[in-house]
Amino acid sequence: MGYVATKGGTEAVLKAEQLVEYFRLRGETEPIKIEQIKSQFRLAVDRAMSEGSLYAPELAALALKQSEGDAVEASFLLRAYRSTLPRLSYSLPANGTRMRLIRRISSTFKDIPGGQLLGPTRDYQPRLLNTLLTSESSETMRRFLANFEKQVESNETDGQSSTFPKVIDSMREQDLLAEAASIGDDDIDEPFDVTRKATSFPAPRSARLQIMARGDAGSLLALAYSSIRGYGDVHPTLGEMRVGYLPIEVAHPLTGESVEIGEIMITECEMVSRVKATGNEEIELSPKFGLGYGFSFGHGEDKAVSMSILDRAISAAKSGKVHGQSGPAADEEFVLQHIDAIEASGFTAHYKLPHYVTFQADISVLERAKDHATAKNAAQAEKQLRLQQKLAKDAQDNTLLD
């Protein structure tokens, strides 16, 4: 069935839609509940929210169900839904120090103010398939939860705060940290909103951060990895990564006072690396560490870490120089134009669209070139033939003269 013929096309599209539904349901297993996706596919939900650029766990779970678990498709659905929502207001700047932490680590110093907090991490778990999960039942689940809660009760530390000061603040106090403005970054009051204004280059740092915060975890990871491997390298060290609940406030529309409207779970990362001497006098007088910032909705460690590396690499590149041979990761325009999964997958997938008209044009260009080449070859061959005939004739003449 052709998919361009005016009538057959409609039918084909509708049938294809039915087929999608059939492929999703043909196993005849119990329909997955949104609630189950939300709680048991926690990280998939977080990723869809982060790249869909919309903090809505229920909707992200729904999107995942609809997309049969495809991360990019799910964030695409959320991104599209987002366009139906008016932007009512901007939140007040949220301060990471106010996070209610579940995880917090630093690799700059072993003991940091407030201490390290491993929290829920797979980092130290042997990566072996757990076949016991195939026989998991509500019974085993309840038993685990009961045991766990008992442990928590017996470990209860009363009055201990779950908010901590930031490692980079103590680095700042020790005069180790360069402020963003002094390393040649744009100094603007209002953050740039890339969802309301088109970005142009060079982009302000706030635009860069916003694009990366919406960016595809995999793309950010690949580019950050290329930087670590020496293409635009900045030798970063993880100042602090924190995961937890961040209170969000808005200014009350009437009174103007700040009102807390809830908390969102986020991952935040601050990467430090040496600001390289560049001929910028201010820096040369006092060498410091520069800061790269990473952020993700939900629990998204790879993404936050990658983003902070790229932010740092781009800052370093803008201020003059990065270590090693420069590469894509240090090129702001290259990074920002290619890390959005919705944009990238959309345009890549457009090659599945009919290109009958343009391809026909390609063919005629090719045919003309072919004709041209044939004519040229024929002319050449004829010239060659004439030359050979002349040589043969000359040779004959010469023998006659002898």
- Contact residues: other proteins, CB under 8 A: 109-115, 118, 122-133, 135-136, 140-141, 143-145, 170, 174, 229-231, 233, 274, 276-278, 284, 287, 323-325, 327
Min CB(213)–other proteins separation in Å: 24
| Alpha carbon distance 151, 242 (integer Å) | 24
| CB closer to other proteins out of 199 and 278 | 278
Closer of 231 and 295 to other proteins (Cβ) = 231
Q: Tell me the closest approach of the beta carbon of residue 284 to other proteins, in angstroms.
A: 8
Comparison of 231 and 297: residue with beta carbon closer to other proteins: 231
**CB of 64: closest distance to other proteins in angstroms?**
19
**Whole-angstrom Cα distance, residue 296 to residue 304?**
6
For residue 300, give the nearest of 329, 268, 272 by alpha carbon: 268
Q: What residues have CB less than 8 Å from 214, skipping those under 6 apart?
A: 50, 51, 53, 194, 340
Which CB sits closer to other proteins, 3 or 109? Answer: 109
Q: How far is the CB of 329 from other proteins (least distance, A)?
A: 11
Q: Judging by beta carbons within 10 Å of its beta carbon (0-12, 13-18, 19+), is residue 114 exposed, middle or buried? A: middle
Choose between 163 and 195: whose C-beta lies nearer to other proteins.
Answer: 163
**Smaller CB separation from other proteins, 52 or 290:** 290
Cβ-contact 324, 227 below 8 angstroms: no
CB atoms closer than 10 angstroms to residue 201: 10
Q: Which is nearer to other proteins, 331 or 340 (CB)?
A: 331
Q: What is the rounded distance in angstroms from the CA atom of residue 34 to the CA atom of residue 38? A: 6
Relative orientation angle of helices 42-52 and 217-228, to the nearest 10 degrees: 90
Q: How far is the CB of 296 from other proteins (least distance, A)?
A: 19
The CA distance from 8 to 19, in Å, is: 16
Nearer to other proteins, 123 or 153 (CB): 123
Q: How far is the CB of 212 from other proteins (least distance, A)?
A: 22
CB of 80 to other proteins, least distance (A): 33
For the beta carbon of residue 39, count every other beta carbon within 10 angstroms.
12
Q: What are phi and psi of 325, to 5 degrees?
A: -75, 135
Q: Which is it for the CA torsion 162, 168, 170, 172, positive or negative?
A: negative
For 36, the token pair is 């189950």
Closest distance of CB 337 from other proteins, Å: 22
Element (H, E) at 226: helix 217-228
In which residue are the tokens 């201490």 written? Answer: 115
Measured from the CB of residue 127, what is the shortest distance to other proteins in angstroms?
4
Tokens representing residue 293 in the block: 């910032």
In 3D space, the residue among 199, 189, 192, 219 whose CA is nearest the CA of residue 50 turns out to be 219
Cβ proximity of 89 and 250 under 8 Å: yes
Give me the amino acid identity at 190.
E
Least Å distance between CB 228 and other proteins? 9
The residue among 81 and 225 lying less far from other proteins, judged by its C-beta, is 225
